[in-house]
Each structure stands twice: as C-alpha cells, then as structure tokens.
Copies of this chain bind each other. A is one copy, B any other.
Amino acid sequence: MHTLPPHFTAVPLDKSYRLLNHGPTVIVSARHAGEHNAMSAAWACALDFAPPKVTVVLDKATRTRALVEGSGFFALQLPTVPMAALTKAIGTDSAVTMPDKLRRHGVQLFDAPGLDIPLVEGCAAWLACRLITEPHNQQAYDLFIGEVVAAWADDRVFRDGHWQFGTAPAELRTLHYVAGGQFYAIGESVVV
C-alpha cells in the first residue's frame, strides 16, 4: 500500500460526527484475511457523539459486507467531485463478478495508520470504525453499526473542526448521490 497522502490530518474523535453530518455519499472499505474491497454507499449516517458511532447499509450481495463481518472493522470515506465516476462505478460493479474492480476503476489504496483497514486516496475525509455486531439489524435490515476509532480529513477542506468548502479548492467538495449517475456537490454555507 502507498504512503499517506498529502494533507491527511487527524480529526479529534469528538468532532468526527461533523464529517458525516451534512449527508455525503461514502465509500466503504475493509480488509479480511488478505483480501480487500471497497464499495460506494449513499446510506451512511452519524448515530452518536461520544463515543462517536455511525450506521451504514450493506447489502447481502456485496463482497465488502463479508469483509466487514470477517474482520470486525471498516472505514467510511467521503469521495470528492473528481471521483464521481469512480464512486458510481464501484457502487455498481461488484467484486463478486469483477474481482479486479478496484484496479479497473482506478482506486488507489493506502493503509489507515495503525489499523488493518485500507483507505481510498483522493477523499475529503476518512472514518475508521470497529463493527458493533448487531445480528438482528444486520440480517433484517442490512444495517451495520460502527464505533469510530480514528478519523482524518484533508486539512485543506476540513480544519479546526469545521468544513472549509467555501475556501478550499472546488474539487474537494463532497458528493451527494441521488440516482442514475446523478450526484450533487455540497454547496454554499448558510450560517444562522
């Protein structure tokens, strides 16, 4: 795996909910027994402040789900505008039928510091999570709960506990999926 990307900066755990609060589409990644994978998911959400927790929906047909269940760890990361095509592609194609889907779609991975979790380059932020196993939720709803154990962001776009979309390069805006290959980028700040 590659070295850490530039601008990769730790986010305090008590601020990590802010990385998901505005509702971005995420890429879910995991590694188990030497196998890694990553898939896109529009259905991820913060669940608690302290300790910080998240929810994410992982369909039974996905290979990434098996790696999450096997390892007990996963990461959520926030793809940026230039990654829209990659994000759609790895949410559509499955490693079950396309084993080289990450390579084919140009996904570059690096290792989360101190954790056996692969992270995706080019994202705006990353949350490393420990699975809180809840068999009923996982079976009945495909709903997974994780505790955030570490978080990082590109310090050009998230700094001092706040998003800096207004001043950061436009290509660092997060993506928010609708359907049919259409996303919206996050927009302008509204302060009350």
Q: Which residues on A are within 8 Å of B, measured CB to CB?
A: 18, 21-25, 42-48, 53, 55, 57, 81, 84-85, 88, 136-137, 141-143, 145, 161-163, 165, 173, 175-192
Contacts and interface: CB of A to CB of B under 8 A. Distances in A.
Given A42-B21, A141-B47, A141-B48, A189 B184 contact: yes
25 contacts: A21-B42, A21-B178, A22-B23, A23-B25, A23-B42, A23-B176, A42-B46, A44-B45, A45-B57, A46-B57, A47-B141, A47-B143, A48-B141, A53-B141, A81-B190, A136-B136, A162-B178, A162-B180, A163-B178, A183-B191, A183-B192, A184-B186, A184-B188, A186-B187, A187-B187
A98 B8 CA distance: 44
Nearest to A140: B134
B187 A173 contact: yes
Contact of A186 (B25, B84, B163, B186): B186
B192 A143 contact: no
A142 to B, nearest CB: 8
A18 B180 CA distance: 11
Contacts of A21: 42-43, 176-179
A190 B162 contact: no
Given A55-B55, A141-B145, 20 more contacts: A21-B42, A21-B176, A21-B177, A21-B178, A21-B179, A22-B23, A22-B178, A23-B23, A42-B46, A47-B57, A55-B143, A176-B176, A181-B191, A183-B189, A183-B192, A184-B190, A185-B187, A185-B188, A186-B187, A187-B187
